[in-house]
Structure 1
Amino acid sequence: MSYDMHISLLALLYILITDNIFRPLDSLVLISSLGFYFMYGFLINDFFDMSYDIAAGKKRTIQQLPKMKFIGIILGVVFISALHLLYLGNSLYIAIYIVSYVLATLYSAPPIKFKGRAFSGIIVNGLIEKMLPVLAVFTFFNHFEIDTLVFLIASFSIGIVDIVVHQIYDYESDSQSDVRTFAVNTGIDKTLNLFNNLINPLSGVIMIILLFLIILKVPYAGLIAALVFMIYAGAFLSIYKGKFNRGEKVFPLYMSCLFFLILNAFPPFLAFVLTLKSYPNLVFLIIAVSSQYYIVKSRFKAVKEKVMPHTEIFIDTELQDGT
């Protein structure tokens, strides 16, 4: 259910459709292996950031555990990840997976701690949360074409947008904790200027290219895109008329639309297309729909409160009492 999983899941479903592949067990193990990788990323980050989070007043359920039990959970996740790799047995996939694991560790762990190294921090974050997992998926299925490059660039840009937004919201706490993130090092005004005038427009163009690629390759995907665009057009009019509040001030509405379409609308739709091709693929539809639980929950809350949130920001607070 982590938003980091969505672009990887989209890539996997896209390959299964476009390459007409039917490998349900391998694909399920692949999804599970990525899930444990993302789980490790969250855990190791919380482990090394615990003192900073406590000082900044950020509450995490994991903080309530004894340190040795916390370490035991992390080691358990590493062991289970290794079992996945033994089953999959793809050397290139394993190599990318291990590199991702190492970078995910060094992102939070001393002495390197990339997250406190300004520009290199957001680059590494873009790699470990989106681009490298997507590359691993394409590598596993030996799919290396122009669409591979489009997916990789798009996933990296989505990761950059995510981390910069996150750092903008954490600017005050990171400044107080003397964590030299990109936003802290650059300054909040310059970061916002770069975000609005460079990062968002460039990422938006790249995401539109990915959008057109999927529409060209997957039948009827254009209908889903048109439906989402109409929904967001209606939301824009509601905000303009004062019937809906724009709760998210940093993230522009057009980017929210592209994020929702690519990360939240397309994965269940592609899984539905797979199910129509072969009914045993229903398991992918169940996974894709289940992965959107927190998004759906957020949207129902938004409609009830008449506030438009950014699709990713809410996850931090939603997961405080979850996993």
Structure 2
Amino acid sequence: QNPSLKNQAKAFLILLTVSAITSALLLYNNAIGQLVYLSSIVLAMFYSTPPLRFKGRPVLDLLSHSLFFGILLVLQGYYLVGKGVPEPPLLALVGVYSVFLELRNELEDYYADKLAGYNTTVVLLGLNRGLKLLSMISIAVVSLSGMLLLHKSPFLVVTAVPFLALWFATNPRYEKYVRAIDFYVIFTLLVHLFYVVNFGST
């Protein structure tokens, strides 16, 4: 490898680390918020860059994605505005939905990843079993969305019915049912945000 490129990469990582620490100190006035922010940055780096590159390691790709692009993002927001720790159903939903997003990306990149030699979870499982796993995760996402809505109002749970019906009606038409899941999660999170803003619920 080119030594100059390696030195540039090291310099970039050092700069990124210093920037992350500085940002954490400026944005968060408590140690937990700073730790959450830095953990998210570190995980994002480990996910994408060698030598760890969790993105190419089965199971770790899903777990790391659920943290840095899910649970930790929500925690960052809550600590930033001083809301404390959000309710467990919200954290569970964003974590599992992040797994759903990662699986979807891996399914769409299956042939390219396999050709490039990337050992993602879907490459390890194979396309058919990867689709089955996505299907199970999508049911978990809808269920957790329902739990979060139930926590706000029992009436809101009935909104899951048309989305579940759409899921069964379009399955196995992949593109349509994954979009249905996206819409339902967005709807759930908007409802949650409405309650947080107007009623102070976390």
Task: Check whether TM > 0.5.
Answer: yes
Is 1:103 matched up with 2:29?
no
Q: Cα offset for 1:142?
A: 6.1
Q: CA RMSD in A?
A: 3.9
Give the paired residue count. 188
Which of 24, 27, 32 matches 1:85? 24
**Structure 1 residues 81 and 155 mapped into 2: Cα distance closer, same or farther (>3 Å)?**
same
Tell me if structure 2 keeps the 8 A contact 1:168–1:183.
yes
**Within 5 A, what are the aligned runs for 1:1-323?**
81-87=20-26, 88-139=28-79, 141=82, 143-144=84-85, 148-196=87-135, 198-215=136-153, 222=156, 248-249=175-176, 251=178, 253=180, 255-263=181-189, 265-266=190-191, 269=194, 273=198
Aligned equivalent of 2:3: none
State the Cα deviation string for residues 248-279 of structure 1 (Å, max 9, x = none). Answer: 256263x233123134x4477468748xx9xx
State the Cα deviation string for residues 96-151 of structure 1 (Å, max 9, x = none). Answer: 2112211111111111111111112111111110111223344553634xx52222
Tell me if structure 2 keeps the 8 A contact 1:165–1:250.
no
Q: Which runs of 5+ in 1 are unaligned?
A: 1-66, 241-245, 278-323
Tell me if structure 2 keeps the 8 A contact 1:106–1:112.
yes
Q: Cα offset for 1:212?
A: 2.2
Q: Cα offset for 1:74?
A: 7.7
Q: Cα offset for 1:211?
A: 2.1
Tell me if structure 2 keeps the 8 A contact 1:211–1:262.
yes
**Structure 1 residues 68 and 270 mapped into 2: Cα distance closer, same or farther (>3 Å)?**
farther
Aligned equivalent of 1:42: none
**Partner SS, residue 89 of structure 1:** coil
Aligned equivalent of 1:283: none
Q: Distance in 2 between matches of 1:148 and 1:267?
A: 11
Q: Distance in 1 between matches of 2:36 and 2:193?
A: 26
Tell me if structure 2 keeps the 8 A contact 1:107–1:121.
yes
Tell me if structure 2 keeps the 8 A contact 1:138–1:148.
no
Q: Distance in 2 between matches of 1:127 and 1:169?
A: 21
Identity %: 20
Q: Distance in 1 between matches of 2:122 and 2:187?
A: 27
Q: Cα offset for 1:203?
A: 2.0
Q: Which has the higher contact order (CA 8 A, sep 6+)?
A: 1
**Partner SS, residue 112 of structure 1:** coil
Ranges of 4+ aligned residues in structure 1 off by more than 3 Å: 67-84, 136-140, 265-274
